[in-house]
Amino acid sequence: MNSSRSILFVCTGNVFRSLSAEQSFKKYLSDNEISGWTVGSAGTLAVPQEIDPKVRATLSEVGINDVRHEQRRLTKDLLDQYDIVIGMAEDHIDFMRSEFNYKYGILFNDLAIGEKTSVRDMDEVPDYATNRPAAEAKIERTVQDIVGKTPAVFKNASERFYLFENLASGKTTHRNGYPFIMLHETPHSAAFMSIDIPGNEDGHVLVIPKKRYPDLAMIPDETLGDMLVSIKKVGDAISVDHGGYNVLLNNGLDAGQYIIHTHFHIIPRREGDGITIEGWQRSEISRDDFIQLNEKLKRKIQEVK
């Protein structure tokens, strides 16, 4: 991709939901004179079929005319070309994980309204194949819903994928008008204060690579070394008047990663501060099971290149 930002919408056939999302996103960019984006769509199956006339008509009603579209089937190479990949439904997220081991697909509704729910296909109308009025009502409702949510998708996708890179490069400030203040900087890393500070503490520092890497495994060793130097330096400063600090990494959506730009949290700690880090429940495990778990993980570690 030649552009600095890119987004791919994924559904099943690539003639309805992902097509509408792609066209709506392009219109939003055009209407707001926003450049520098590549926008595409694809289908997990993409069986050759025509775009339903009602899809075209509904898009036309919101000002999206002359839709020129070629179906594309989702591939690993295609996934690798885009920064942001949005699944229109849960089965698309599951498909990307099972078929391509792709872990950063995000649901359209999750980005739009913070709900992990699907934009349903035509199967939401059981008799859509024989009940044309019901099918057209479903199409119109879905397309208009996608179009209505597009501004929020743009805003939240921009924040979750590009905020930290923008902060480190000086292109933007924190949310809510808070200033970005560089606490420590190396050639490849930046440390700054998060605006999400625990109630009983006086800070919460983030250490990031200046370039966006979604996953820890993607970070070059030199950059990771810079980050560790920054963590140590900030930690040493915190330790001057604190009893300790936690260093946390949420790596992956399932681990609670919200901003898709690898970052370490450094949280100052004092006894009795009320901050809970180790919140999981312990389970009893036999000695033999413990050994087997170790052997399994050791094999996986040895397989990692």
Task: Give me the DSSP letters along 274-302.
Answer: ------PPP----HHHHHHHHHHHHHHHH
Phi, psi of 60 (to 5 degrees): -65, -35
Answer yes or no: do 57 and 157 share one domain: yes
Answer yes or no: do 151 and 187 share one domain: no
- Cα–Cα distance for residue pair 250/105, rounded to 1 Å: 16
Answer yes or no: do 122 and 211 share one domain: no
Answer yes or no: do 148 and 82 share one domain: yes
* Structural domain span for residue 253: 175-269
Phi, psi of 223 (to 5 degrees): -65, -40
pLDDT of the residue at 273: 81
Question: CB within 8 A of 282, min separation 6: which ones?
Answer: none
In 3-state terms, what secondary structure has residue 143? helix
- Cα–Cα distance for residue pair 107/58, rounded to 1 Å: 23
Answer yes or no: do 155 and 189 share one domain: no
Whether residue 21 lies inside any domain: the answer is yes
Q: Is a pLDDT exceeding 60 seen at residue 40?
A: yes
Q: Which of 188, 242, 263, 265 is catalytic?
A: 263
Instruction: Look up residue 232 and give its two tokens.
Output: 């140590």
pLDDT of the residue at 2: 36
* Least confident range of 64-68, 137-141, 280-284, 288-292: 280-284
Q: Mark whether 188 is an active-site residue.
A: no
CATH for 263: 3.30.428.10
Whether residue 299 lies inside any domain: the answer is no
DSSP assignment, residue 251?
Answer: -
DSSP letters, 65-129, are -S------B--HHHHHT-SEEEESSHHHHHHHHHHH----EEEHHHHHHS-------GGGSTTTT
* Least confident range of 78-87, 124-133, 190-199: 190-199
Give percent of the chain with pLDDT exceeding 90.
78
**End of a domain among 162, 197, 230?**
162
Answer yes or no: do 157 and 212 share one domain: no
pTM: 0.90
Whether residue 169 lies inside any domain: the answer is no
Give percent of the chain with pLDDT exceeding 70.
98
Whether residue 265 lies inside any domain: the answer is yes
pLDDT confidence band for 197 (50 / 70 / 90): confident
pLDDT confidence band for 271 (50 / 70 / 90): confident
Distance between terminal CA atoms of the chain?
27
Under a CB-based contact definition with an 8 Å cutoff, are residues 257 and 207 in contact? no
Residue the block writes with tokens 């946390």: 248
Whether residue 295 lies inside any domain: the answer is no
Answer yes or no: do 136 and 49 share one domain: yes
**Average pLDDT for residues 165-191, to the nearest whole number?**
89
CA dihedral 259→264→265→268, nearest 10 degrees, is: -170
Q: How many domains is the chain partitioned into structurally?
A: 2
The larger pLDDT score, comparing residue 225 to residue 4, is at 225
**End of a domain among 136, 162, 188?**
162
* Least confident range of 31-40, 68-77, 261-270, 294-303: 294-303
Whether residue 32 lies inside any domain: the answer is yes
Answer yes or no: do 81 and 203 share one domain: no
**Average pLDDT for residues 97-121, to the nearest whole number?**
96
Q: Is a pLDDT exceeding 80 seen at residue 280?
A: no
CATH for 38: 3.40.50.2300
**End of a domain among 115, 132, 162?**
162
Answer yes or no: do 190 and 224 share one domain: yes
Answer yes or no: do 155 and 82 share one domain: yes
Count Cβ atoms within 10 A of the Cβ of residue 279 and give its class: 0-12 exposed, 13-18 middle, 19 or more buried: exposed
Whether residue 288 lies inside any domain: the answer is no
For the segment 22-36, what is each residue's pLDDT rounded down to a tens digit? 999 999 999 999 999
Answer yes or no: do 126 and 184 share one domain: no
> What SS3 string covers 172-226?
CCCHHHCCCCEEEECCCEEEEECCCCCCCCCCCEEEEECCCCCCHHHCCHHHHHH
Answer yes or no: do 190 and 138 share one domain: no
Whether residue 167 lies inside any domain: the answer is no
pLDDT of the residue at 78: 97
pLDDT of the residue at 173: 81
pLDDT of the residue at 52: 96
Structural element, H or E, at residue 155: helix 132-169
Distances (CA, A) of 283 to 33, 66, 280, 286, 287: 55, 59, 9, 10, 13
